[in-house]
Structure formats: structure tokens, C-alpha cells
Amino acid sequence: MSRYLRVALVQTPAESLEDFAEGLRRRMKSPNAATLVIYPELHLCSLGVESMSEQEAIGRYAEPLDGPRGRALGALARELGIWLVPGTVLERAEDGSVYNTAVVYNPEGERVAAYRKIFTWRPYEPFCPGRDFVVFDMPDYGRVGLSICYDSWYPEVTRHLAWMGAELVINLVQTPTTGRTQEIPLNQANAIVNQIWVASVNGASPTAHGGTLLVDPEGHFQIPAAGMEDATFVGVVDFDRVGAARTFGTSGDSWPWEHFQEGDSPLELPLYNGHIDPATWRPTVPPQTPAPLRPATGSGTTSGGGAGHE
């Protein structure tokens, strides 16, 4: 059974929760309707911040994930019967720390994932950095990983998500600077070297500089990097193309996850004070996903893996 997922990448300026709910309902009654709907970074936590102090913005928008905003988002996902990634929110933890956190709700309105941004944009982003990589399963579709904006500049993030079995990585962005020009090829490269789908959703003007995109496991743009306009981009993610790329090779000739062979010694990684163990290099295969067949070239087998370094 093919695993096709219709996705809507919503490139739009920051808005209030009320306007967000109205706009989401409108999109779900139009050709922009999709099974998975994705909004930009801090989409619900940026309206009016240009006239606030840092503490005023945090005081207005930071709340626990199970607070009023979280309950409203879960109710919206349940009402519309969709998988919803409403961008990221300012999360106030129990100890008072504030995180830039991506949240995901399933069609039953349950929060199934929360990821705290690891590589905050220092020195400009004042929030606490997270310390955990996060993936979640979409039954009948595939496994999805989460990254936020500046995370895409650090290849370790996407590599680790792919190793954990992510076949699609969602990168939530609010880039209002010329840095978006570099983020476009970075997201393409992350897709290529990990043989996964990457969806990178940025805000629209005046909040951010757009450039929303969807890249397939061989690096082809299924949704090319857009301009800065307010727009919704709909595409189809075929999760089976991950296995195809890893079985037959990117462009038929590259198997990055199949490099190590039986008998290879560990590769020391001084930067990480660790190593790559050839026996545990390959990515995990999600439960609902058939393992790719062995390539005709005999470059190796594919199976679930363990940690790439320690």
C-alpha cells in the first residue's frame, strides 16, 4: 500500500490565535485542504512583538503546553480531523524556563510531539536550548522528525533525526533576514545526504522572508522556494521514495547510509569525543515501513540501527 501524504505548507505572517483558527477552517474548506498542515516558527507568538520588550513578549506569549492555547490547538485539530503543526510556541516550563517549542497534534486532538529548539539563534534568541531530538509516527504514513530554523545549519540535527527513522523532517522557520538565502540550499543538502523528505516552512512578509519549500529524498524541489508572499503550498509526500532512494541509490549511484561494511573499524570523531560504529550506522526502520531491499550493486544491507556515536 502506497504511503502518500497530502501536506499544506502555510507561508503566512504572524497572527492571533483567533485569526489563525478562522484561517485554518477556511483553508480546510478549499483546495488547500490537507492531511498534515504546517505553519511557521513562532507563528502564534510574534504578533506585535516589535513594539514590546523581551520580557513583555515572554509575559504575553509564554505558557505551559497544556495551557489554554494548547487546549485550543488540540480542539482545532480534532474539529477538522487533521494532523496540525501550528508552528512553534513559547513554552513556559514548570521551573519557569522558556523554550521555543514545536508542537504536533493528531486528528483526535492529542499532542503527540513537542520539540524544544536545540540551536537557538544566539545571541539574538533569548530562550533556553533544548537537549532532545524528537520524532513521531503518523500511522499508515511514516515517521516524521522536527527541527526549528537555525537547526538546519547544523547537519548533526537532521542526521540524528534520519538515524532515528524520520522519513520526513519538518523545519519550522521565521527568518526575516537575508540568511534565508543560505537556508534554502542547506535544507536541500540535508535531504540529499540523509535521503529523506524535508519541508521547510517560513513566514511571509512582513514577519519573515518566505522561501518555503519541499524537497524529496534525492534533492529535487517538489515545492520550489517561494517568494515572500502570503500563500499556502500543497504537495504530496510519497514516503516510499525514501526506501527507493536508499535501495537504488540517489540518482542511481550513491548510498550514503550503506558506506560501512562488515569488518570495518570504528571511525573516530574527535570533535564529538566519540566514534561511528559501523555496526550501528544505519537508520532505524519505522514499524510500519518495509525495510528496503539490498541494492543490486551489493553495497550492503539495510536494517534498524543503533547510535551513530557516543
139 CB-near residues (< 8 Å, 6+ apart): 288
The answer to whether 310 and 274 are in contact (CB under 8 A) is: yes
- Is the model's pLDDT at 301 over the cut of 60? no
Confidence at 259, pLDDT banded by 50, 70, 90: very high
- Is the model's pLDDT at 44 over the cut of 90? yes
For residue 305, what pLDDT is reported?
37
C-alpha cell at 165: 527513522
175 CB-near residues (< 8 Å, 6+ apart): 149, 183, 202, 203, 208, 209, 211
- Is the model's pLDDT at 146 over the cut of 80? yes
For residue 251, what pLDDT is reported?
95
- Rounded-to-integer distance, Cα 182 and Cα 185, Å: 6
C-alpha cell at 97: 524556563
The answer to whether 139 and 175 are in contact (CB under 8 A) is: no
For β-strands 142-148 and 168-172, DSSP reports them as: parallel
For residue 304, what pLDDT is reported?
36
- Is the model's pLDDT at 307 over the cut of 70? no
- Rounded-to-integer distance, Cα 255 and Cα 297, Å: 10
pLDDT digits (tens, 9 = 90+) for 225-242: 989 999 999 999 999 999
Q: For residue 221, what are the β-bridge partners?
A: 215
- Is the model's pLDDT at 257 over the cut of 50? yes
CA 202 to chain centre: 12
For residue 186, what pLDDT is reported?
98
| Helical (H) or strand (E) element with 5 | strand 4-11
DSSP string, 241-282: HHHHHHHH-GGGS--GGG---TTPPPEEEGGGTEEE-GGG-S
For residue 287, what pLDDT is reported?
81
For residue 309, what pLDDT is reported?
30
Q: For the domain made up of 4-244, give the CATH fold.
A: Nitrilase/N-carbamoyl-D-aminoacid amidohydrolase (3.60.110)
Domain borders along the chain are 4-244
C-alpha cell at 73: 490547538
- Is the model's pLDDT at 310 over the cut of 50? no
For residue 89, count CB atoms less than 10 angstroms from its CB and return exposed for 0-12, middle for 13-18, buried for 19 or more. Answer: buried
Q: Is the pTM of this model over 0.85?
A: yes
